Structure 1
Amino acid sequence: MRQRHKPWADDFLAEHQQLIIPNPAELKGKWQSLFGNANPIHIEIGTGKGQFLVGMGKQYPDVNFIGIELAKSVIVTAGQKILDSELSNIRLLHINAIDIRDIFADHEIAMIYLNFSDPWPKNRHEKRRLTYARFLDQYQHILEPSGHITLKTDNQGLFEYSLVSFSQFGLKLEEANVDLHALQDPTNVMTEYEEKFSSKGQRIYRCRARFPKE
């Protein structure tokens, strides 16, 4: 989906560098010092307009959240939403997550959220899917031994592909739900896409997996 250009985006990024971190590689291995506490760090890859992060930040004040988003016009919307919420346990990164090990040290992250990622449905684009083996290898390094990956999507094909990919990589599946909203899970925080798709009657799929402990 093409995003509407926001002429004020560059100024916003420059003015809010405490929220949208300009040089994240410099903080590799030091992210807890940025937050000023020893709370666990959860990251969302592809954070969109920030609704999920704000909801999670409110629900879990003793967790630090970092959202990663490449689209400038989207991340500034998320940034404004976070500023309005006055939450101090959220930061954003305006980067491509393709080499996430350049940003986080081994075992620095407790949880990874993949919410409504691009399914890249064509076979020739398999390597771009965020649950492809190359990405899983990076996740395994940055996650702490008890850390998890949680995936939510409306795309059945991506869901099924991810289950197979997790299994082939040796992850232990802890949840696989083909109709998340039927659960009426009170802890579920919806994204903007989730609200949109579920309002149209589309199923929401969720799975959670962890790597085997070394």
Structure 2
Amino acid sequence: MRLRNKPWAKTLIAQNPQWLVEAKDRTQIEWDQRFQKRQPLHIEVGSGKGQFVIQMAQAFPEINFVAVEVQEAAVAMILKKQVALQLPNLQILYANGAELTDFFMPHTIATIYLNFSDPWPKTRHEKRRLTYRSFLKQYQTLLDVEGRIEFKTDNRGLFEYSLVSFSQYGLILDFVSLDLHHDTRVTFNIETEYETKFTQKGQPIYQVKAHFKQD
């Protein structure tokens, strides 16, 4: 969902380059140099207002996180929270999720989170879905040997499409849930803004965790 423009966004972004990388600075980044410690790297593609990635960074100080977001208003909202929190293990990438290989080196990411991505329900928009094969190829390049994808959505159609897409690409499905919030196997779950909203409406949340088969 497109957020309203924030008149203060550009100024905030310009004033805080220590927390944020912009797409105009396109280069494969030495992310370890942007964090206080060299730690496993997790990224969330499409972070929205940042509820999930910020709470993950707070819960797991031993992991470095990058919030990837393309909307300026959303980037600014994450950044505003980060300026207040000063989390040493959180960075923001203001860029399109289709361009990840421009900013991350191969085999450097431990986990990629895809949370409540735009379902792009029309067939002609299939290539825009973050679980389409061109995106999966990108994730395969970036994930380390034990890396995995964690995908959550409220959209049954996108979930079913993603399961097929994962399987056809050769991913191994490690965990599949058709109702995450009532799944007795789940002992820990941090919600996104959308997840909280949809759960309150009684909608089931779907999740799959998967990894690429190694040659």
TM-score with structure 1 length normalisation?
A: 0.95
Matched, 1:57 2:70: no
Deviation of 1:21 (Å):
1.5
Aligned with 1:26: secondary structure?
coil
Q: AA paired with 2:206?
A: Y
Query: Does structure 1 retain, via aligned residues, the 8 Å contact 2:179–2:204?
Result: yes
Distance in 2 (CA, whole Å) between partners of 1:17 and 1:55 is 22
Give ranges in structure 1 of 5+ residues lacking alignment: none
Give ranges in structure 2 of 5+ residues lacking alignment: none
Deviation of 1:99 (Å):
2.0
Matched, 1:207 2:212: no
Distance in 2 (CA, whole Å) between partners of 1:140 and 1:7 is 38
Aligned with 1:21: secondary structure?
strand
Partner of 1:38: 38
Query: Does structure 2 retain, via aligned residues, the 8 Å contact 1:50–1:82?
Result: no
Deviations 1:180-202 (A, max 9, x none): 00026342100000000000000
Distance in 2 (CA, whole Å) between partners of 1:65 and 1:24 is 19
Query: Does structure 1 retain, via aligned residues, the 8 Å contact 2:66–2:92?
Result: yes
Aligned with 2:2: secondary structure?
coil
Query: Does structure 1 retain, via aligned residues, the 8 Å contact 2:148–2:210?
Result: yes
Distance in 2 (CA, whole Å) between partners of 1:31 and 1:17 is 14
Partner of 1:154: 154
Q: AA paired with 1:164?
A: V
Aligned with 2:20: secondary structure?
coil
Identity across aligned pairs (percent)? 47
Count of residue pairs brought into register by the alignment: 213
Deviation of 1:111 (Å):
0.4
Aligned with 1:111: secondary structure?
strand
- Provide the alpha-carbon RMSD of the alignment: 1.3
Distance in 2 (CA, whole Å) between partners of 1:53 and 1:37 is 18
Deviation of 1:165 (Å):
0.3
Query: Does structure 2 retain, via aligned residues, the 8 Å contact 1:110–1:144?
Result: yes
Partner of 1:47: 47
Matched, 1:182 2:182: yes
Partner of 2:136: 136
Deviation of 1:20 (Å):
1.4
Q: AA paired with 1:144?
A: D
Which stretch of the first structure deviates more once superposed, 148-157 or 95-104? Answer: 95-104
Query: Does structure 2 retain, via aligned residues, the 8 Å contact 1:24–1:103?
Result: no
Deviations 1:48-85 (A, max 9, x none): 00100111011111000001111101111111122223
